[in-house]
Amino acid sequence: MIRATDLRDRLGCSSFPQSLISSSQSHMSRQYTLQRTPVSTSIHLDYAAELNEQQLAAVTALPGPLLVIAGAGSGKTRTLTYRVAYLLENGIDPRNVLLLTFTNKAAREMLNRVANLLPVDASGLWGGTFHSVGNRILRRHGTALGYSSGFSIMDREDQKDLINTVVASAGIDPKEIRFPKGDVLAEIFSFVVNTEMPLEALLAEKFPYFLPLLDKIQDVRDRYEKKKKATNSMDFDDLLQKTLLMFQQHERIAEIYRRQFQFILVDEYQDTNKIQADLVDLLARDHRNLMVVGDDAQSIYSWRGANFQNIVEFPKRYPDAQVFKIEMNYRSVPEILEVANAAIAANVQQFRKHLSATRESKTVKPALVALNNSAEQAQFVAQRILELRDENIDPNDIAVLYRAHYHALELQLELSRRGIPYQITSGIRFFEQAHIKDVISFIRFVANPRDEVAFNRMVKLLPGIGNRTAENLWQAWESGVVAAGADRGSEMTAVPAGVNAPGYSFGDRLLAMNVPAKSKKMWTQLAHTLNEIAPGGEPNPPSEMITSIVEAIYDDYAKVNFANYQLRREDLDQLAAFARQFRDVNEFLSQLALISNVDAEAAAVQTNEKEAVNLSSVHQAKGLEFHTVFVIWLTDGMFPSSRSLDTRDALEEERRLFYVAITRARDELYLTYPHMRLSGGYGDVFQRPSRFLQEIPNDLLEDWQVKRS
């Protein structure tokens, strides 16, 4: 075990000169050190008794660059906590330690654990998220960049409003040229900062439909930067970007913090982006006492800017780095871990490791379950959940995981039918999402031309139409409907809602109405679309209507209004596929309404009983664990997603995502896939089992043959 003097000797100094932290002189000066109040340096903790051998080696490592590859369920947080305790117990001043995490809660929990382990005041230790630490530094030194210490931090809503103001000042009319909205621009600017990619390259990769607007978007970004400075405001990304910029431009300030933070520890390093890694490397440049902890096999956030190369290339950036692997898993039974090890084995870019179980075998292998179609898949999962509940498994300890939100569509319907409470941790329920309700509003309107709510939602999607204009248009439409009904006597009320007299035309009626000039073009498009989806007033089948609405109107709207346009488009395609089982529009809308009502009742039950099955995307489930996990829709094109099949890097991230899904399970794991699925325009489509399933040896899984009674 090393002593405090060993740690300080390795640094090349007898002690850190606290008296000189806040000053730096260009002339020769004498360094005078105020010693902190002595504390007992006798070892209070029996680290060998508290940690396994792999954890102990990482915790007690000598200073220098350290990479700790901590497998799923291996006690990563415990390792970091004990490393902090070890440094403090060996005489390192808490003020010389920086602990960077991805949530302030994680930092607080670790520091609380340290406080419980040691009778040492660790209040001087800097711990928190990258952004909170950046904010703290900028409050002290932001004047170097022209900001006062009282600068405002904008939330995303503030940021959107300021960007919209800038767009208007640039003379751009978003309604005329389909310019991205403030929310989307904020997302684009955030990607540029966090990935350090040039704007043009970023657009080409993620938003290719905006490339023709490159110059205008760049002009807005330049104006936005000036506006922030003029108003003494920063957005969330500035807390990183401006901190790094200040360090790069003002060596004196960078030196202060390089000298202060003698030991830097980073949690979840696989999730860091380019700018976060650059910030850490800059602060650790001189002393190189940097411990980064993470799991390359759980790097799954490239879509939001995380850079997988940060952890993979760490030994190249720090050739003298010590690499520790923690492979003892405390979460899952051996049978699940064997499947997890096999699932990740095919990845080329990885630190090879083998998770070993500390728990005893249950002799029950993970189940591989092939079903005929998505409806049968949903029925299987629902029935098995009820059986598990009868076996006294808490529903809160059961999770259904999927690659994309729309994969849970049929399952939500089935759980609702059976009265099984569920909670969605991956976002709001499928049919409650804005883009789903937007498209459904068109269908509701043609089914019932007196639906004011549907009319208002539909027309407000068009440029130049806000609340007041929509209200005026509704009054004009309503008076026209009444007049049309009067002309036909009692005919309109005598027939089912939405079914009109022969030759009835939504489009002709719309075209006769007065709309703002800037709305005229899209209003005409709306008229033609309504005629297309309800020729002669008679609605087409729901699936056909959805496809027409999306292609004619909503696709363009979604591109400029949603940063995650591609995911929303996939949802809408799946909605069209789901709707194929309904020929009648009223039956389709009734089912949606019933689902929503049952969902509301289930939510109320859930609130009272606090027992609900968890439905979640794999991304949202990272860091969680459950007694039983179902991973559904394991077919090629669904999981892995079709967008990931073109490049090795993308496919390897999908495989890591599959690995994360498997390692959420403690006791039981079910891997399911349907042979067939409904498609929006091509009928039933045959599904290939996911290539990831084919990479798992047959003897590690139990094949379940499902038959109907």
Q: What are the residue numbers of the active site?
A: 76-77, 267-268, 298, 664
From the list 223, 271, 213, 353, the residue with the least C-alpha distance to 653 is 271
The Cβ of residue 198 has, within 10 Å, a number of other Cβ atoms equal to: 11
Residue with tokens 């952890």: 311
First to last CA, the chain: 65
Whole-angstrom Cα distance, residue 5 to residue 440?
70
Spatial contact of 675 and 313, defined as CB atoms under 8 Å apart: no
From the list 360, 212, 329, the residue with the least C-alpha distance to 664 is 329
Whole-angstrom Cα distance, residue 270 to residue 297?
9
The residues with which 401 forms a beta bridge, in sequence order, are: 616, 631
Pairing of strands 356-357, 398-402: unpaired
The kind and range of the H/E element at 398 are strand 398-402
* Chain-centre distance for alpha carbon 199: 22
Spatial contact of 157 and 116, defined as CB atoms under 8 Å apart: no
Residue with tokens 């248009």: 473
Spatial contact of 382 and 415, defined as CB atoms under 8 Å apart: yes
Residue with tokens 């439909």: 209
Whole-angstrom Cα distance, residue 505 to residue 508?
5
Which residues touch 536 (CB under 8 Å, ≥6 apart)? 500, 502, 503, 504, 505
Whole-angstrom Cα distance, residue 187 to residue 168?
18
Spatial contact of 299 and 218, defined as CB atoms under 8 Å apart: no
The Cβ of residue 709 has, within 10 Å, a number of other Cβ atoms equal to: 2
Whole-angstrom Cα distance, residue 66 to residue 88?
18
Please return the burial class of 176, using the count of CB atoms within 10 Å of its CB with bins 0-12, 13-18 and 19+: exposed
Tokens matching residue 96: 């010389």
How would DSSP label each residue in 97-157?
EEEEESSHHHHHHHHHHHHHH-SS--TTSEEEEHHHHHHHHHHHHGGGGT--TT-EE--HH
In single-letter form, the type of residue at position 171 comes to G
